[in-house]
């Protein structure tokens, strides 16, 4: 409460009384990484389901206040000459399709369940919308990047504490109690949390103050990208700071022990090297990969060696689980190519075991629910958003906007593999913040085109 109440008061003051709806991004950056930890600590300290649920929906409250502030404080809102880009149009078609599935009696879920799921899906588009309309001052951009850097230094520091004490932070924060009472999920695994917090060989997978190790691992892509672009666009005497951020992000990625995010890191490095012409990163990636192979073959423990081998050959239980879920979802898409209805796939709130079909692949999750058309729209949104961010980076003369476009493009590419293996849009911090960055990158590219035409 000491943390969240001042944060909420400052955010509400800026959004409601100052009309600074853009401050929604600052709240999300500071709130979402520790979202589950905040709820767990709140319930453990108060035993109040009501207070915990109030904190649970703070993010939706702030989003609603920001939207109302945008409408009420924006002068001549219909006279802005707003030009829709391809990504805008694809988002509109995607949500039109979602609305059709919400209203029509399609699928086995009831209307309330579908409405809850629809709300969760709308948030990524709302964050994109806010980014699409955001204008921040130089000082505010610096504060935003500083916030993200502090988060990943803090996350790594807590990882070190967890490793030294051989104790998950979630054992202290009351994660298991919160899960059992609020989410009706019984503790599991050797650490009394969930199986996600350990490898198949019972090794610890650390999450710091993030929701779980997978959330931390995916979010580390933002941390590394922020550190890298800061290093590339700052004076040499400041390089130590950004190198520290990159090392902290890599350290947390290692402690989280996520196979998909490890692979995503190398994919992101290759993308950065090719698209942004930083070819030295390919050499770095090859060296790191060779170093990893040598370590696994000659120096790793037998447990880790067979863990890697079983993962690559899909003999690992987790890998096999992914494969079976993909097959189930694909078969359902063959049976119902036009869609089976909202809340029938994935792990979001409202999707029960009785309704769930597949759920280990974000693309297939949308494919099951919204049909082949819905899946293709989602893929097209990602593709056009990434490419527009790349063009925004190349064309922007504003360092802050170029940095955001760089992070937006690289993180979305890095997330492609986690999207194949999880319901990755549920990772609130990396998902929502990166969609906001895609939105502001689309705006940046549009403004650069208008500048060129005006000359």
Q: pLDDT at residue 93 above 80?
A: yes
Among 3-12, 144-153, 337-346, 355-364, name the one with the lowest average pLDDT: 355-364
- Is residue 229 within 8 A of residue 406, CB to CB? The reply is yes
Among 18-32, 132-146, 292-306, 358-372, name the one with the lowest average pLDDT: 292-306
Per-chain mean pLDDT for the chain: 88
CA distance 353 to 355: 5
- Predicted local confidence at residue 345, as pLDDT: 86
Question: Of 384, 385, 401, 400, which is closest to residue 448 (Cα–Cα)?
Answer: 401
What are the tokens at 160?
């070190």
What is the DSSP code string of 71-109? HHH-TTGGGS-PPPPHHHHHHHHHHHHHHHHHHTT-SSS
CA distance 245 to 237: 15
What are the tokens at 322?
């992914």
Among 34-43, 319-328, 359-368, name the one with the lowest average pLDDT: 319-328
pLDDT in tens, 304-320: 676 666 666 655 656 66
Share above pLDDT 70 across residues of the chain, in percent, rounded to a whole number: 92
**CA triple 11-209-189, angle to 5 deg:** 140
pLDDT in tens, 199-250: 777 788 999 999 999 999 999 999 999 999 999 888 888 889 999 999 999 9
- Predicted local confidence at residue 82, as pLDDT: 67
- Is residue 442 within 8 A of residue 132, CB to CB? The reply is yes
Mean pLDDT of the region 332-343 = 91
Residue/partner pairs of 382-388 with CB below 8 Å, 24 or more apart = 382/412, 382/416, 384/86, 384/87, 384/90, 385/87, 385/412, 385/438, 385/441, 385/442, 386/412, 386/413, 386/438, 388/85, 388/86, 388/87, 388/438, 388/441, 388/442, 388/445
Q: pLDDT at residue 444 above 90?
A: yes
What are the tokens at 48?
């109040």
Most confident of 255-259, 289-293, 399-403: 399-403
- Predicted local confidence at residue 60, as pLDDT: 94
Helices (H) and strands (E) in the chain, counts: 20, 0
**CA triple 39-418-257, angle to 5 deg:** 70
CA distance 310 to 303: 10
> Quick one: pLDDT band at residue 14, thresholds 50, 70, 90?
very high
Write the CA distances from 360 to 75, 87, 140, 152, 191, integer angstroms: 44, 25, 37, 27, 24
- Predicted local confidence at residue 25, as pLDDT: 96
């Amino acid at each position: 409460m000491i943390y969240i109440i001042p944060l909420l008061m400052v955010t509400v003051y800026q959004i409601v009384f100052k009309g600074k709806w853009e401050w929604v991004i600052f709240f999300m950056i500071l709130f979402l990484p520790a979202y589950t930890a905040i709820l767990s600590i709140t319930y453990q300290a108060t035993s109040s389901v009501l207070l915990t649920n109030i904190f649970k929906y703070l993010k939706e409250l702030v989003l609603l206040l920001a939207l109302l502030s945008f409408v009420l404080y924006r002068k001549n809102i219909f006279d802005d000459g707003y030009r829709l880009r391809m990504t805008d149009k694809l988002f509109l078609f995607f949500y039109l399709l979602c609305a059709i599935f919400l209203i029509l009696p399609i699928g086995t879920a009831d209307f309330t369940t579908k409405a809850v799921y629809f709300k969760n899906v709308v948030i990524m588009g709302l964050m994109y919308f806010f980014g699409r309309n955001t204008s921040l001052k130089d000082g505010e951009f610096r504060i935003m990047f500083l916030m993200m850097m502090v988060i990943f230094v803090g996350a790594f520091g807590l990882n070190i504490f967890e490793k030294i004490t051989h104790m998950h932070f979630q054992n202290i924060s009351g994660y298991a109690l919160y899960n059992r009472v609020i989410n009706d999920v019984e503790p599991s695994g050797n650490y009394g949390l969930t199986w996600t917090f350990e490898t198949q060989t019972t090794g610890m997978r650390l999450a710091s103050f993030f929701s779980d190790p997978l959330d931390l691992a995916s979010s580390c892509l933002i941390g590394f990208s922020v550190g890298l672009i800061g290093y590339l666009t700052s004076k040499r005497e400041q390089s130590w700071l950004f190198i520290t951020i990159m090392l902290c992000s890599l350290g947390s990625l290692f402690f989280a022990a996520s196979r998909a995010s490890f692979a995503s890191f190398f994919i992101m490095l290759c993308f950065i090297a090719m698209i942004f012409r930083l070819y030295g990163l390919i050499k770095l990636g090859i060296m790191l990969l060779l170093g990893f192979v040598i370590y696994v073959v000659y120096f790793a423990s037998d447990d880790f060696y067979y863990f890697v081998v079983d993962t690559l050959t899909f003999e690992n239980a987790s890998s096999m689980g992914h494969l079976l879920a993909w097959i189930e979802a694909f078969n359902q898409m063959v049976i119902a190519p036009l869609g089976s209805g909202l809340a029938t796939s994935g792990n979001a709130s409202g999707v029960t075991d009785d309704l769930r079909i597949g759920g280990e692949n974000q693309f297939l999750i949308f494919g099951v629910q919204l049909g082949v058309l819905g899946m293709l729209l989602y893929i097209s949104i990602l593709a056009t958003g990434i490419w527009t961010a790349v063009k925004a980076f190349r064309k922007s003369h504003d360092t802050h906007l170029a940095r955001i476009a760089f992070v937006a493009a690289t993180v979305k590419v890095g997330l492609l593999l986690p999207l194949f293996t999880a319901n990755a849009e549920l990772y609130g911090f990396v998902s929502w913040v990166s969609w906001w960055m895609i939105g502001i990158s689309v705006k940046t590219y549009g403004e650069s085109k208008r500048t060129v035409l005006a000359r």
